[in-house]
Structure formats: C-alpha cells, structure tokens
Structure 1
Amino acid sequence: MNFKNKKNYLSLKLGQFRFYFRKRFRIISTANDILIGLFFVTGSILNLFPDTSSMGPYLYLAGSLLLLSRPILRIIHDGSIEHRQERHLTLENKGK
C-alpha cells in the first residue's frame, strides 16, 4: 500500500490499482463510521456468549469514543486557525 497525501485528495495505491478520494475528511469520517458499526456489532455478538461477554463493554467503550470523535472531525473540517498580528498606531508612530 502506498498513500500519497495532497491538499484536496487522497490517493491510495493497491497493487496495479490506484483509488482517488476527493475529500480527505469525508473518507476519514466514513472510515470512522464503519469502525463504530464494527465495534458495536462485535460487542453485541460477544455479549451473547458467556465466555466472551467480558470483552463486549470494551468494544462498546471504543465505539462510544469513536462516536465522540465525529463532532471533533466536523470541527476540524469546517474550521481553520489563523494568526493575525494587529498593528496599533500610537501618536508617536503616526507622525513617522
């Protein structure tokens, strides 16, 4: 596998094939949703059997943490941080 990151797309090379994804955050969000589903379904299945029922709550916790990351990903995607340096004019600098 070879990942090539660019500003507006993500390229994934698997053997002779290359997949292009236009929006990085949409891919990350979709992968996050798939993992959430897998953790909750696997946790539910593990709770059905007495020998593995102790692992179910850990998968529920992992799925819940991934659910918490969804709004964080949206904030990162929709927001930006800028550093602006304001210039203050004083009476002394105004005459120069």
Structure 2
Amino acid sequence: MASQGTDNTLILRLGHEELIIRRRYEALSIFNDVLIALWFLAGSILFLYPSQEHLAVWLFIIGSAQFLVRPAIRLARHLHLKRLPDPHGGD
C-alpha cells in the first residue's frame, strides 16, 4: 500500500515495514542513472566475448534510450498537472 506524505514523500507500507522515498523525482533520476551504468557496464563486458556482441549492442541501445528518460524525469519534476475543483459543484 502506498500513501503520500505532506512533504511530497512517497511511503510504501510492506507489512510492518515502511519504505519512505523523499524527493521522489531525484530518487527516480538516481535509479535511472544506476540502470544506465549497469546496461553500459554489462554491454562493455559482453563485448569481450565475440559470441555475445549482439546482446552487447542491445544493452548499449537500451542504455542509450534511457538517456532520453533523464530529461523527462527532470521535466516531470518541474511540471505538475493538478485537477481543480469544478466551480459548479460537479465532477
């Protein structure tokens, strides 16, 4: 179960434990950067084995595509869509 704190934190409750994520967009950006590094590291290692070059190329493509996610995360951090209440009382 997830809830949102008053200071824009995300709280995930897992049984008797809570995972508290503060500054969600920054945490998401860091997670994305770690994934990019893993794709490129794995791809680089696989290039050492000629039989794995095809997979290595795909890991580089995935890592490169994730570089597109970085500005999207930064933009989402700055833009928020909020539903305004209907002035006439309806939904």
If the length of structure 1 is used for normalisation, what is the TM-score? 0.71
Q: Which amino acid aligns with 1:78?
A: H
Runs (5+) with no aligned partner, structure 1? 84-96
CA displacement at 1:30 relative to structure 2:
1.1
Looking at structure 1, the residues matched to 50 and 61 of structure 2 have their Cα atoms a distance apart, in angstroms, of 19
Q: Which residue matches 1:6?
A: 4
Structure 1 residues 15 and 56: alpha-carbon distance in aligned structure 2, compared to 1, 3 A threshold: farther
Task: Note the alpha carbon deviations across 1:20-68, whole angstroms, 9 max, x for none.
Answer: 1112111211110110000000000111101211111111110011111
How many pairs were matched up? 82
If the length of structure 2 is used for normalisation, what is the TM-score? 0.74
Runs (5+) with no aligned partner, structure 2? 84-91
Structure with larger RCO (C-alpha < 8 A, sep 6+):
2
Q: Which amino acid aligns with 1:53?
A: E
SS in 2 for 1:54: helix
Structure 1 residues 12 and 81: alpha-carbon distance in aligned structure 2, compared to 1, 3 A threshold: closer
Q: Which amino acid aligns with 2:67?
A: L
Give runs of aligned pairs for residues 10-89 of structure 1, distance below 5 A: 10-13=10-13, 16-81=16-81
Looking at structure 2, the residues matched to 74 and 32 of structure 1 have their Cα atoms a distance apart, in angstroms, of 12
SS in 2 for 1:18: strand
Q: Which amino acid aligns with 2:4?
A: K
Structure 1 residues 41 and 69: alpha-carbon distance in aligned structure 2, compared to 1, 3 A threshold: same
CA RMSD of aligned residues (A): 2.5
Larger Cα-atom Rg:
1
